[in-house]
Amino acid sequence: MTQDLKQIIKDKSRQLGFILAGVTTPEPPPHYSTFENWLAQGHHGTMEYLASERSRTRRADPRQILPECKSILVLATPYPPPSRAERSDAALSGVKRRQRTRHEVEAAEHAEGKIAAYARGADYHDILPDRMKELVQFIEAQVGGPVKNRWYTDTGPILERDLAQRAGLGWIGKNTCLIHPKQGSYFLISEILLDLELEPDPPFATDHCGTCTRCIQACPTDCILPNRTIDAARCISYLTIELKDDIPVELRGKMGDWIFGCDICQMVCPWNRFAAEGDPAFDDNHPPHNLTGELTLTSQTFNQRFKRTPIKRAKRRGYLRNVAVALGNTADMHALPVLQNALNDEESMIREHAKWAIEKITSR
């Protein structure tokens, strides 16, 4: 009966847009010690909440989150992958960059900032919770009564990729992303802890990265470590989203034109040739992120434009900080007027990064 129920739940999951679904036990994650070592080496940067006692005890044992937990349902939702042209451009990251021609520099006047693919449309925090709630209600209807549960989508103290691997959804790649051999890695992971006995799926046992090191070679900031972890303090995604302070000067020139997140390690991954089509709920319906235009956003226009997207997480001060760095990296003299205007911004962090960008451009 539990096997039949599990299949019924998986079928419903697919109807709700979860392209992958697997079940694992609430036993401690197999690579928790890796997480502890990662914290001990300070690779979590300023994300001190990860090192708190609450964070560590719950990640070490999912039953600390839900004592009644008997099964964990792990789910994956695809988001639209970057275009073929973007992937080709990312391939240049692992080789010596050629000198830009004068024509290319002048074309930077219309340069657009790069946004991680998952963040180009609606915020998944506004979409996936409703789907998980509906799935829980469906499960309760199937068993004829309430089922104690907790659910997360990148919001709770849980080692979701570790659990996803143990639930059979894929392997953890050298770039730390969960990779599925038929779906790639452009998907969001969710978990539902259930007070319900379900037959666990076999773990995904094989590693298909082999000798490939494309992600490691392509990373502009060298943040990918040999043990399938990353030095978050060097990762462009961390620098543009999680870091609330000034971006280290030595890393600014390596960030290119990324202004929120980064996809380089995924774009060069051979397995993403098989990436699934994204869920329509995450389609990008926003205008291009023209760098010179972005730097003029007021607090009101920033909040209006990004209120239902992940970009709001960076807040205006962080987002315009990122934009200023990207403008500095374009080497575009046309950007100087808008950068000079930003020197009068009320936020000192924006002023500091605009000053750096001006110096970077004029020094060339």
Give the model confidence (pLDDT) of 155-197 as tens digits.
899 999 999 999 999 999 999 999 999 999 999 999 999 999 9
Is 50 exceeded by the pLDDT of residue 11?
A: yes
In the set 154, 195, 201, 284, the catalytic residue is: 154
DSSP for residue 247: P
The verdict on 109 and 152 lying in the same domain is: no
The verdict on 48 and 129 lying in the same domain is: yes
Residue 248 confidence (pLDDT)? 98
Strand-pair category, 114-115 with 258-260: parallel
Q: Which of 113, 119, 104, 115 is nearest to 357 (CA)?
A: 113
- 112 residue type, one letter: E
Residue 84 confidence (pLDDT)? 73
Strand-pair category, 187-194 with 71-78: antiparallel
Residue 142 located in a structural domain: yes
What is the CB-side half-sphere exposure of residue 167 using CA atoms within 13 A? 30
The verdict on 75 and 140 lying in the same domain is: yes
Q: Which domain holds residue 318?
A: 84-118+210-270+285-362
Segment 197-201 shows an average pLDDT of 97
Residue 108 confidence (pLDDT)? 47
Annotation marks residue 246 as catalytic: no
- Crossing angle of helices 299-306 and 315-330, rounded to 10°: 100
Q: Which of 207, 203, 253 is nearest to 228 (CA)?
A: 207
Residue 199 located in a structural domain: no
The verdict on 161 and 236 lying in the same domain is: no
Distance CA(76)–CA(252), nearest Å, equals 33
The verdict on 39 and 160 lying in the same domain is: yes
Is 70 exceeded by the pLDDT of residue 34?
A: yes
The verdict on 173 and 226 lying in the same domain is: no
Residue 349 located in a structural domain: yes
The verdict on 11 and 158 lying in the same domain is: yes
Residue 303 located in a structural domain: yes
- 78 residue type, one letter: P
Q: Is 248 helix (H, G, I), strand (E, B) or coil?
A: coil
First-to-final CA distance of the chain? 70
Out of 169, 194, 219, pick the residue that ends a domain. Answer: 194
Residue 280 located in a structural domain: no
Residue 173 confidence (pLDDT)? 98
The verdict on 97 and 215 lying in the same domain is: yes
Contact 79, 122 (CB under 8 A): no
Residue 278 located in a structural domain: no
Distance CA(13)–CA(145), nearest Å, equals 19
DSSP for residue 346: S
Q: Is 154 exposed, middle or buried (0-12, 13-18, 19+ CB in 10 A)?
A: middle
The verdict on 320 and 228 lying in the same domain is: yes
The verdict on 89 and 135 lying in the same domain is: no
Segment 235-254 shows an average pLDDT of 98
- Kindly list the distances between the CA atom of residue 339 and the CA atoms of 39, 113, 243, 332, in Å, as whole numbers in the listed order: 37, 15, 22, 11
Residue 287 confidence (pLDDT)? 72
Residue 275 located in a structural domain: no
pTM over 0.85: yes
Residue 113 located in a structural domain: yes
Digit-coded pLDDT (tens) for 52-103: 999 999 999 999 999 999 999 999 999 999 987 776 676 665 444 333 443 4
Residue 146 confidence (pLDDT)? 98
E strand or H helix that includes residue 16: none
The rounded radius of gyration (Å) of the Cα atoms in the chain is: 22
Question: ∠ CA 190-161-7 to the nearest 5 degrees?
Answer: 55
The verdict on 32 and 140 lying in the same domain is: yes
Q: How many domains does the chain have?
A: 2
Numbers of helices and strands, H then E, in the chain: 16, 8
Is 90 exceeded by the pLDDT of residue 284?
A: no
The verdict on 15 and 110 lying in the same domain is: no
Out of 143, 170, 194, pick the residue that ends a domain. Answer: 194
